[in-house]
């Protein structure tokens, strides 16, 4: 049982970090970023290139993927999303754009990094063995701790920095924020860059454990959507809750339901639909986000 809980917490920390980026972009710009999974994969490949091919330390790779993805996110917002949002009649048009970007990133990843599964050597060796009750490699623990630290850092940044306050104002009411003198364009760009950066960071963290390959983008996006649906779209606490809940459900489900075959995700999806029928806005979302 302790093992299941530990696995759940470990998965949840990563999931929450992925969901945070997605929910940040959604709350600021009302854009459902289909390309989030691809950004995550891209981040993983950047870290792989820096660490495994250039032979630099892991932390450099992590920073590199954060920087690359932040720049990419800023450029995507400025040159793609902003003009389309301004010109289009319906908000949903941005979804086509996001899906197009997802395809584009897939193509770029394929051309730059190839289709092989890639990984970097373990950063810490050894396995924690607590009385045979919890067995977990040290590198997983390190990654989970780093993920939690990043989440805490992100929350502090959003709560107390000037930029964070501006972005929260923007998420609450775009028009009012603009009237109060918030530079809407600038903070949308920063927000998008930050969201993309989080995706890149998770990619960089996970490449040390699960490795990375081209096909991981789509399923990651779907999982991230699940998490922000559980927690409520556009709410930061909701994204964190959703991430940990999904991580727990997956960990418990894989153990308990293993006897019945591969139906964990079927059960998760089915219960999610029942849950959403009762509470459409998720745990903490505002109605009709």
Candidate residues 5, 60, 71, 107; the one interacting with other proteins per rule CB under 8 A: 107
Instruction: Determine if 93 is a binding residue for other proteins (CB under 8 A).
Output: yes
The site for other proteins, by CB under 8 A, has a size of 48
Binding of residue 87 to other proteins (CB under 8 A): yes
Give residues 182-201 in contact with other proteins (rule: CB under 8 A).
Answer: none
Q: Which residue has the tokens 């389309």?
A: 84
Which residue of 83, 121, 126, 153 would you call a contact of other proteins, by CB under 8 A?
83
Q: Where would I find the H helices in the chain?
A: 2-29, 36-48, 58-76, 82-87, 93-113, 138-160, 162-172, 174-179, 184-206, 217-231, 236-256, 264-278
192, 29 contact by CB (below 8 A): yes
* β-strand pairing of 134-137 with 127-130: antiparallel
Answer yes or no whether residue 262 interacts with other proteins by CB under 8 A: yes
Report the C-alpha gap between 84 and 32 in whole angstroms: 14
CB of 223 to other proteins, least distance (A): 10
Residue from 90, 116, 160, 175 touching other proteins (CB under 8 A): that is: 90
Neighbour-count burial for 36-58, b at 16+ CB within 10 Å, e otherwise: bbbbbbbbbbbbbbbbeeeeeeb
Q: Which residues bind other proteins (CB under 8 A)?
A: 26, 32, 34, 80, 83-84, 87-90, 92-93, 95-97, 99-101, 103-104, 106-108, 110-111, 218, 222, 225-226, 228-229, 233, 261-263, 265-266, 269-270, 272-273, 276-277, 280-282, 288-289
């Amino acid at each position: 049982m302790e093992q299941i809980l530990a696995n759940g917490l470990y998965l949840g920390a990563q999931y929450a970090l992925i969901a945070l980026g997605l929910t940040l972009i959604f709350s600021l710009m009302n854009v459902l970023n289909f390309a989030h999974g691809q950004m995550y994969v891209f981040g993983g490949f950047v870290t792989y290139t820096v660490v495994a091919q250039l032979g630099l330390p892991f932390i450099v790779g992590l920073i590199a993927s954060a920087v690359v993805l932040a720049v990419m996110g800023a450029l995507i917002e400025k040159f793609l999303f902003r003009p389309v949002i301004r010109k289009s009649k319906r908000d949903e048009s941005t979804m086509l754009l996001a899906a197009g970007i997802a395809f584009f990133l897939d193509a770029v990843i394929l051309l730059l990094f190839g289709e092989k599964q890639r990984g970097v050597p373990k950063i810490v060796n050894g396995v924690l063995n607590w009385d045979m009750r919890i067995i977990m490699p040290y590198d997983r623990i390190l990654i989970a701790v780093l993920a939690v630290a990043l989440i805490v850092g992100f929350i502090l940044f959003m709560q107390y920095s000037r930029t964070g306050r501006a972005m929260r104002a923007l998420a609450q009411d775009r028009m009012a924020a603009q009237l109060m003198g918030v530079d809407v364009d600038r903070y949308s760009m920063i927000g998008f860059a930050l969201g993309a950066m989080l995706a890149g960071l998770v990619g960089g963290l996970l490449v040390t454990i699960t490795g990375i390959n081209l096909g991981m983008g789509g399923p990651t996006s779907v999982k991230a959507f699940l998490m922000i649906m559980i927690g409520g779209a556009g709410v930061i606490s909701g994204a964190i809750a959703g991430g940990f809940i999904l991580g727990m459900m997956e960990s418990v489900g894989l153990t308990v339901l293993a006897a019945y075959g591969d139906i964990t995700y079927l059960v998760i999806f089915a219960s999610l639909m029942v849950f959403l029928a009762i509470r459409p806005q998720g745990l903490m979302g505002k109605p009709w986000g």
